[in-house]
A and B are shown apart, each in its own frame.
Chain A
Amino acid sequence: MNLISMEGITKTFGRVVANKEIRFQVKHGEIHALLGENGAGKSTLVNMLSGIYTPDSGSIFIRGKAVKLTSPRAALHAGIGMIHQHFKLVEVMTAKENILLGQKSSFFIRDEQLTQKIKEFSHRFQLDVDPNKKVYDMSVGEKQTLEILKVLYRGANILILDEPTAVLTPQETQKLFQIMLKMKEEGCAVIFITHKMNEVLAISDRITVLRKGETVKTVNTGETTTQELAELMVGHPVNLAIKREEATPGKVLLEVKDLIVESEERVKALKGVSFSLAAGEILGVAGVAGSGQKELCEAIAGLYPVKSGEVFFKGENLVGLSPRQIITRGISMSFVPEDRLGMGLVASMDMVDNLILKEYQNQKGLLINRKPAAAKSKNIIQKLEISTPGIHHPIKELSGGNIQKVLLGRELDSNPDLLITAYPVRGLDINVSYKIYELINAEKKKGVAVLFIGEDLDVLLELCDRIMVLCGGEITGILAAKQATKEQLGLLMAGEKNGKREDTELA
């Protein structure tokens, strides 16, 4: 008998059909991977298992019994616990308080008793959590462990992990896999959502592939290959190799020297970063999320205050210039944050108004002429195959991928000399991603210097000329991409310089 069985599940959001007649089954004691491109409906599907969404139609059976999971409480009652991609933790509270949330127990908080119980639990599942540590002091890995402990403490025996590895170093990922295997050993079922095929092959027992909101196929992990999975995800054969443009780098365009930046709370986000970037070169930046990537991009673009150090662009020091002045020097910076909006785009405005964001100041007079931008909008829509009801539709109503194309379309259209692009393919389909790699390569060929901040090490290795690794605001190494390996990068990302572990400061 199946532990979970979902039959004919359909869910729509407005006009968007996120899940259509989905069929999905999980057995006892298995690690079941849910694979698919962004927008394939993976998150929607598991959110219905965890009681966040309610299906429009279809039924869910757990241990053969039909259930209606109308709230997270109901889901947990059925034994389902979900680890969300964005952790559901209260930052200003301790681990212990987070575990206690929503629990039925005594009216007053019984501190010692609880601490004891948590310790027992973390011992049993080999989860390392300090009950009295505040969440905002925790690393991403610690937070994730806490999330797992939290749902297990509440009695979950079906664990859903939504893209758990996106924020982890390769080493932390290995640790997570150990925990998952331990769960399996303890008889739990684990549903593991990802779009990284190599991880799926490494850890899962079975794989269900979703495409455009529909179930494509469920396969046994031993009987499939990366190529087959990619084809199932995309729907047609794909070429997974990125062609590296061979170009001889020109003269150095960007030179960063001893860059130090401090946050408002006076925490150093970059601790003396130095590197250079030449015309016609792609320099990749690898690192765990929050290692200083954002601050680096913003410091170069003049958005983050520089404490000390220099940023030379074509021989001119950019430090102290306004963002506006830096834009006019021919520098384009685009940062795709996790929510994909936030910086760079104005959600409630239409495409035209978003396209003029960085160039309206070049127009003469007090008024804005939107006609050229309207023509440009149509052009970009065609070039990047953006699907939108029209150029005057608020962009927040477009899908994530299309929003991103608007951003990239605008940035590439500005013909920069230095293109800084952070997570440009975050959440995009394989096809679109490859299209964007092509566009970046084309820029490189034109002699543009590219600073590419990426998540996927495989992509970095294939696309970039050199890869710089950030860890805790420091450069732990700059490697030539052709000779580098993923293992090397992983070690550097974890803070080991020249193969030997640095004492990581916990300040």
Chain B
Amino acid sequence: MNTTAIVFFLEAAIVSGTPLLFATLGEIITERAGNLNLGVEGMMLMGAVSGFYIGLISQNPGLALLAAMVAGAAGALIYAVLTVSLRANQVVTGLALTIFGGGFSGFMGQRLVGEVAPESIKLAFKPFVVPVLGQIPFVGKIFFQQDFFVYLSYLTAILVGLYLYKTRIGLNLRAVGENPAAADAASISVSLYKYAHILLGGALCGLGGAYLSLVYVPAWQENVTAGRGWIAVALVIFATWNPYKALIGAYLFGGLDIIGFRIQGIGFPVSQYMIDMLPYLVTILVLVVVSLKKSQENSPPKGLGIAYFREER
């Protein structure tokens, strides 16, 4: 394999990692608020189908994005009402959301099967070269000759990082996830923070889904996410709840996702189905490795998965 092929591969890995990145960032924000939302897959599907549908009828890329975010957030809202206000079990509620989201996208998408994303949207999300940065050898080709979504994902990762580590609200958010009782005593509105960030997380998952249906494929197909939502949940652990590390994880898995196609392309004699197992196998491997080393700083938010009720006794 020559350099050009490698650059092409890496460029494609970024593209295939982008939906994972959005979803992972969304889940990082959610888990930082102390809520484990296993419904990522469901929210991505809701975003994918809504974004595609609205894009199809409006031909407007902006509206399509908005629809995807609203749909993802709507799914997250159901989850938030149940887990934050009604204190339902987070694991089961997340699973329910995955089932619901799958049903929702199957239901909405039945008439869309086979439809292709409209030209206006394909055009809007066509790759373009970033001035100056795009001219850098190799790096420019890999990172800065991409489409709008990809740039948006870079920006989102950086903004989420700044938000978490440099702002006061981010500090409060981390406190809510770590020790809601402490946050409450410091007069932070725990429920408000949880709701806001679960919704924000859902919106990002929705975006990740829309990237798949509008840009990556770009046509409607059933179950377009194919388990990427679950990989995103695992990536959060891989990234130790750090948005910058999520970048690495997402592109690594993006690469794994397309490697089969490439390897077959160069005539390597191995079944496509075996290579398709790779991302899932590596996810398991990553989880095992992460569980081997434990430390104060890189551990999950301590309040993760536990409902908070001030008057509990």
Chain A interfacial positions (CB closer than 8 Å to B): 13, 50, 52-53, 71-73, 76, 82, 84, 86-93, 97-98, 100-103, 105-109, 134, 136, 150, 264-265
Contacts and interface: CB of A to CB of B under 8 A. Distances in A.
Interface string B122-137: 0000000000000000
A150 B311 CA distance: 22
A53 B294 CA distance: 36
B222 interface: no
Contacts of B179: 88-91
A73 B302 contact: no
Interface residues on B, range: 20 to 34
B182 A90 contact: yes
Given A52-B310, A71-B187, A101-B172, A88 B167 contact: no
A151 to B, nearest CB: 9
B296 interface: yes
B166 A72 contact: no
B175 A13 contact: no
B187 A91 contact: no
A105 B168 contact: yes
B178 interface: yes
Given A72-B185, A92-B296, A102-B188, A52 B168 contact: no
B167 A108 contact: yes
Secondary structure type dominating chain A contacts: loop
Nearest to B177: A90
A76 B174 CA distance: 22
Nearest to A97: B171
A142 B184 CA distance: 21
Nearest to A134: B296
Contact of B167 (A13, A93, A107, A134): A107
Contacts of A52: 184, 310-311
B275 to A, nearest CB: 38
B311 A53 contact: yes
Contacts, number: 84
B313 interface: yes
Contacts of A264: 294
A333 B313 CA distance: 26
Contact of A92 (B178, B183, B187, B188): B178
B181 interface: yes
Nearest to B294: A264
Contact of B171 (A72, A100, A265): A100
Given A52-B311, A90-B175, A90-B179, A101 B186 contact: yes
B297 interface: yes
Interface string B173-206: 0110011011111111000000000000000000
A245 B295 CA distance: 48
Contacts of B169: 107
Nearest to B299: A92
B178 A102 contact: no
A108 B185 contact: no
Contacts of B166: 108-109
B168 A88 contact: no
17 contacts: A52-B184, A53-B310, A72-B187, A82-B185, A84-B185, A86-B181, A88-B185, A88-B186, A89-B179, A91-B179, A93-B178, A100-B168, A102-B172, A103-B186, A108-B167, A264-B294, A265-B295
Nearest to A77: B187
A84 B179 CA distance: 14
B210 to A, nearest CB: 29
A52 B181 CA distance: 10
Nearest to B295: A265
B28 to A, nearest CB: 16
Given A13-B313, A52-B311, A88-B181, A101 B188 contact: yes
A88 B180 CA distance: 9
Contacts of A87: 182
